[in-house]
Structure 1
Amino acid sequence: MKTFSSIKELLTVLNREHKLIIALFEKRKNLSYKYDHALELVDFDEDKIRTLIDYSVIRENGTNLELDDQFLQFFEQVLAVNEEINVSYIHEHIQNIKHNILYYLQENNETRKYGYLRQVKNALRKIGIIALRNVVDLNRNIDHAFKHEPNYKIKKAKLEHLDEKRHDIYALIGQTDQLISGEDEQTFFKVASDEELNRIIIILKSQLNECQHNLIDIQKQIIEFLNRIKYHSGVIEKLRQIKYLKDQFTLKSKTNILEILAENNAVIFEPNPAYPLKISLEVLQTDNEILDLIGKISKRIRSGVKVTQPLAGSISDEYLETQVEEEFQINLDEVKNGFLAGSNNLFDFILNYNFDKEVNFDERITIYCQMVSQYDSLFKITETYNSRQDVEFAMIYPK
């Protein structure tokens, strides 16, 4: 296994094969990424894939490829998309702070003392960030487990496991708070106090306070989800028993389902009510009040004025003549294909493009703007500008 000799070499290799690395990272949830698909992203150069394998950037699993765990965890942590909750990081940083505080108090050399102080600052800064990230990941995992896990037993087990993670995070937050206010640590903070350390402690206390409030809400959410799972699992179990008795044709004999249904007056068992708008003939014939109302309405609507509708005049023969109007339209897609096939910049290409009709300079500027707004993802827009006839434009080339 090869190792990178410098950061420059590491960044060069990652940047050179960034398309393949991005594809593997985006497909990290899939069980496999075919070797043949990876070849397409490296221009069918197997040496590039072999280089990544030799440096342990990616791993080969039969005919499949996947990112190495070390790089996968690095990308997930930097991009804040890691779903794994790891409280051991906080515990390690707490122990690291205690050791470096002890070293600082026992050290006489100012340079080495500053080194220990710097490590304490870095660890304190990381604890707050890791705690907040773990709380966010915990909340997301709880929501995902409840909404997407179809098996009720597994769903309950996952939520109980995440509740244990919540308890661990809460305990580590308490240890961190105690670390800041401990007797030995208070001596250190008084001796090594500076502006940056005080600012880090204030930010850390704010972050821990935010985490504690969020953990209280998460605890309520877990309790609610577990109660809902218990209720739904009980309903499903009863439905399974009813279905079993029904399949055995013993539902009526072994249960009192008929009595329960007879006593149940739930709206769901009632037929949908119908509300007819028309009045029945029987009511019209027997109810005198309705007849009087109809008579009053008829008197209001009735009018003695007879309205005569005027006749329309004859249609002129001019309106009956067929007229054809031709309109010339420019096919921007065809212009785009022609531009992508060449290497000239977009403005000069449109300026010299041979359209089917005469297109003046202002119209060609309009076509240039339309092309940029519709096909910008296919163009390489540079920061270089040029001008032509008092018009300044960006230099755009095909990708």
Structure 2
Amino acid sequence: MYIFRSIQEIINTVAAAKGLLTEMFEKRKILSFRYSDALSLLKDDENRLKLLIEKEVIRQNGNYVELDARFLDFFELLLEANEEINTAIIDENIEYLHELIDYYLKERIPSRKESYVRNIKITFQKIARTTIRNIMNLQNSIDNAFKHEPTYQIKIAKLENLDKKRINIQRLIDTTEHLILHEERAFFMQATDEELTRILLELRRELQLSAHSLIRAQQDIINYLNQIKSQIILVEKIRKVKYLQDQFELRARSNLAEVVEREHSLLMEGSAPGSFKLSINYLSTDEARPVILKVMRNRQYREALRNNEAGAFSEEELEAQAMYQELINLDTTVGDYFQAQAQARWADESAPLEDLFSYLMKYSFQREVSEKERTTLFCQIVSLYETQLRITEEFGTYHEYEFAKVYPL
């Protein structure tokens, strides 16, 4: 196997054949890419093509060439163009996390402990990206299997296998949650790293969204399998009718005559409404007066709407500083609250958590926010992030406000 000597060599090799590699990647699912076509894309420079084959960027198979698996995987990973569902990668990353955490707890040199924390953060981010990508591929594969697979037996087998992969992804999500919350508690109490805390909060939020997506995927699989079952029953009935028709036994061995005799339904098709113009003679009669008055009322109504439209802003108004007010990002505010509570809990597990309302009353926003607006934000956050919060039966008071005490789950 060819081994590149430097990153510069890889970049130069790929850049020299970027047109060919782009074309081959776009046609990667086509079984055959001719050697002569590759040569023409390199302007008949056979030495360059042989160099690509020698460096194993592409592989030759008789009169055909194809992208090497390493470069194909690399391009698909960066472009997120791979439809494969690979749960083994997440499993390997979770096992690797256990190893890194074990090394961290046994290490005594601070610089080396920091290197282990860095690798742990990178691995957590890999788990988040891989999980989201697997779920996207899972949903796409479910839809494609149902809509585009022509053979019923294969369609059912694909959906059943995808359901097994869904179960594996859910198992890995649960394993990751258990690792963070229970298994490696000693590590998270020692490694008080602010970036690691933020990564873990984002990871848990993404895992919760992923779990919801898996519920939807399960419902889609169940619905699709039920539809396939109904379609199979219908096809079997149609085949039986066709067989009896071919044998000229349909009327004798079925109740077709009775069904047709009592069936009186009609095929209804929508018709486009036709427009027509009223004649001058008709408009001159008293009978047309209500029609004319109705048209006049409609015109007056449209004219009133136009009169109420706001005019264009002047250039002075557009340049004025008071034309807008900075909006408050609820996601950022809630994330800061979760992060502050997580840091407090990891620093001292017995320390009490601060409730959401008290936190918002002293939270430093980017602009001046009144008590009334902070109270409104509290209600909005409780409503929008209900699944991530624990609403208790305890109540507190702040000035003239009485509020329920809310904490993170």
TM over 0.5: yes
SS of 1:33's partner is coil
Partner of 1:79: 79
List runs of 5+ in structure 1 lacking aligned partners: 273-296, 302-399
Partner of 1:125: 125
Q: How far off is 1:58 after superposition?
A: 1.0
Cα distance in 2, alignment partners of residues 265 and 208 from structure 1: 55
Partner of 2:155: 155
SS of 2:252's partner is helix
Cα distance in 2, alignment partners of residues 145 and 62 from structure 1: 33
Partner of 2:330: none
1:218-229 correspondence to structure 2 within 5 Å? 218-229=217-228
Cα distance in 2, alignment partners of residues 264 and 271 from structure 1: 18
Partner of 2:354: none
Q: How far off is 1:210 after superposition?
A: 1.1
Cα distance in 2, alignment partners of residues 35 and 200 from structure 1: 47
Change (3 A) 1:115 1:44: same
Cα distance in 2, alignment partners of residues 29 and 10 from structure 1: 24
Q: Which has the larger radius of gyration?
A: 1
- Do residues 243 (structure 1) and 229 (structure 2) align? no
Q: How far off is 1:62 after superposition?
A: 1.6
Cα distance in 1, alignment partners of residues 164 and 4 from structure 2: 39
- Aligned residue type for 2:87: V
Partner of 1:110: 110
Partner of 2:207: 208
Tell me the alpha carbon deviations over residues 55-77 of structure 1, each in whole angstroms, 9 at most, x when there is no partner: 22111122111111111111111
State the identity %: 43
Cα distance in 2, alignment partners of residues 216 and 134 from structure 1: 14
Partner of 2:167: 167
In the TM superposition, structure 1's runs of 4+ consecutive aligned residues that sit over 2 Å from their partners are 260-268
1:316-395 correspondence to structure 2 within 5 Å? none
- Aligned residue type for 2:104: Y
Cα distance in 2, alignment partners of residues 115 and 271 from structure 1: 71
1:286-297 correspondence to structure 2 within 5 Å? none
Cα distance in 2, alignment partners of residues 134 and 48 from structure 1: 37
- Aligned residue type for 1:76: E
- Do residues 58 (structure 1) and 58 (structure 2) align? yes
Q: How far off is 1:41 after superposition?
A: 1.0
Partner of 1:11: 11
Cα distance in 1, alignment partners of residues 159 and 173 from structure 2: 21
Cα distance in 1, alignment partners of residues 227 and 269 from structure 2: 30
- Aligned residue type for 1:72: L
Partner of 2:32: 32
Q: How far off is 1:201 after superposition?
A: 0.2
Partner of 1:68: 68
List runs of 5+ in structure 2 lacking aligned partners: 271-281, 287-409
Cα distance in 2, alignment partners of residues 202 and 189 from structure 1: 13
Partner of 2:101: 101
SS of 1:267's partner is coil
Partner of 2:194: 195
Q: How far off is 1:245 after superposition?
A: 1.3
Partner of 1:91: 91
Cα distance in 2, alignment partners of residues 164 and 258 from structure 1: 47
Cα distance in 1, alignment partners of residues 64 and 120 from structure 2: 43
Q: How far off is 1:19 after superposition?
A: 0.6
Moved more, 74-83 or 49-58: 49-58
Q: How far off is 1:20 after superposition?
A: 0.7
- Aligned residue type for 1:267: L
Q: How far off is 1:300 after superposition?
A: 5.4
- Do residues 259 (structure 1) and 248 (structure 2) align? no
Aligned length: 275
Cα distance in 1, alignment partners of residues 192 and 128 from structure 2: 19
Q: How far off is 1:10 after superposition?
A: 0.6
Partner of 2:138: 138
- Aligned residue type for 1:59: R
Tell me the alpha carbon deviations over residues 186-220 of structure 1, each in whole angstroms, 9 at most, x when there is no partner: 11011012101101101101110111111111111
- Aligned residue type for 2:195: E
Cα distance in 2, alignment partners of residues 131 and 271 from structure 1: 47
Tell me the alpha carbon deviations over residues 318-337 of structure 1, each in whole angstroms, 9 at most, x when there is no partner: xxxxxxxxxxxxxxxxxxxx
Cα distance in 1, alignment partners of residues 158 and 175 from structure 2: 26
Q: How far off is 1:233 after superposition?
A: 1.5
Change (3 A) 1:266 1:182: same
- Aligned residue type for 1:172: L
- Aligned residue type for 1:244: Y
Q: How far off is 1:173 after superposition?
A: 0.6
RMSD: 2.1
Cα distance in 2, alignment partners of residues 106 and 300 from structure 1: 101
SS of 2:66's partner is strand
Cα distance in 1, alignment partners of residues 213 and 2 from structure 2: 44
Change (3 A) 1:42 1:300: closer
Change (3 A) 1:191 1:300: closer
Q: How far off is 1:83 after superposition?
A: 0.5
Cα distance in 1, alignment partners of residues 154 and 230 from structure 2: 15
Tell me the alpha carbon deviations over residues 117-168 of structure 1, each in whole angstroms, 9 at most, x when there is no partner: 1111111011011101111111111111111111122111111111111111
